[in-house]
Amino acid sequence: MFGCQPLILQIPGTLDGFLTQYSSVVIDFGITVVTFVVTFLLLYRIGKSVLVRATKRALNAREFSSAVVGLGSSVAATLAVVGAVAIAATVAGFPAILGAFATLAGALALGVSFAAGDIIENFVAGIFILKDKPFSNGDYIEWDGNSGIVREIRLRVTKLDSFDNEELTVPNSDLANAVVTNPVANDTRRVTFDFGIEYGASISDARTAILDEASKIDGILTDPAPTAPVTGLGDSAVVLNARVWIDPAETGAGGIKHQLAETVKHRFDDEGIGMPYPYTELTGQVDINSHDLIDATPADD
């Protein structure tokens, strides 16, 4: 009777040889990866917390707007990521990563500079607008023949509303490079309107009428007081320039000008102060000789 012997397969020592030959390489690579990941996470958490907090504190101390503070915080967080990757790669011994990272950063910077030049220009202009504050939300501004009420200042564009309730979207670089007039920036604003009276009318009576009507309009300040000096001698009228002052934060200049023009016109009419309009008068004579006349009588057939 034959005995049953266990069957033992002999496997060549390929796996053992592989582990023996490359175990040190695998272990070193694993240690390097773990070192990189741990170092990156620690540096990123610490760096982001410190940089973002310091950036917010510095910008808030200089009273920058919330948009600038948010932008600065985003930039600080990005710098924390870049710094953490660079330092972690150095600690872990990844020189190839640093070289590739530098090459990629250079390529991105070059591509952005060519492809997004206008965007960057508007972006930088938006930062200066938010920092210098030439105007704020709600201000009425004028620039390069345009005008509107500022509704929102963004980092790339500024949105305004026209008096016809049309939305205007203006690149910030246009506003940063233009002479911007802000009529509501100061505590007071002067509003003017020209009134022309006949040469035979009394300047004193006309001035009294203008100042008296101005004193009755709500919103016109008494200090500085309204004035109405003679500012021109036209072809057919003596021009008095009515000058009144308002608080632009409380009173609109357009409404005041409309009221002043209407009330003074009625006052002039009531007091018989004429307001002439331009006209042309021909003087001389025309000599028409009889032989120059044309006989319009129809001819006989």
**pLDDT (tens digit per residue) in 9-48:** 444 455 555 556 556 666 766 777 777 788 878 877 888 8
Give the pTM: 0.56
Nearest-5° Cα angle at 179, 178 to 183: 130
DSSP label at residue 227: B
Pairing mode, if any, of strands 238-246 and 189-197? antiparallel
DSSP letters, 117-162, are HHHHHHHHHHHHHHHH-SS-TT-EEEETTEEEEEEEE-SSEEEEE-
pLDDT values of the chain reduced to their tens digit, one per residue, 301 residues: 444 455 444 444 555 555 565 566 667 667 777 777 888 788 778 888 888 888 888 877 776 666 667 767 777 787 788 777 777 777 766 665 556 556 666 666 666 565 556 777 777 888 788 878 888 888 889 998 889 999 988 878 899 998 888 899 999 888 988 888 988 888 899 999 999 999 999 999 999 999 999 999 999 999 999 999 999 998 889 999 999 999 988 888 889 999 999 999 999 999 999 988 766 667 777 666 655 545 555 555 4
- CB 76: neighbour CB atoms within 10 A? 20
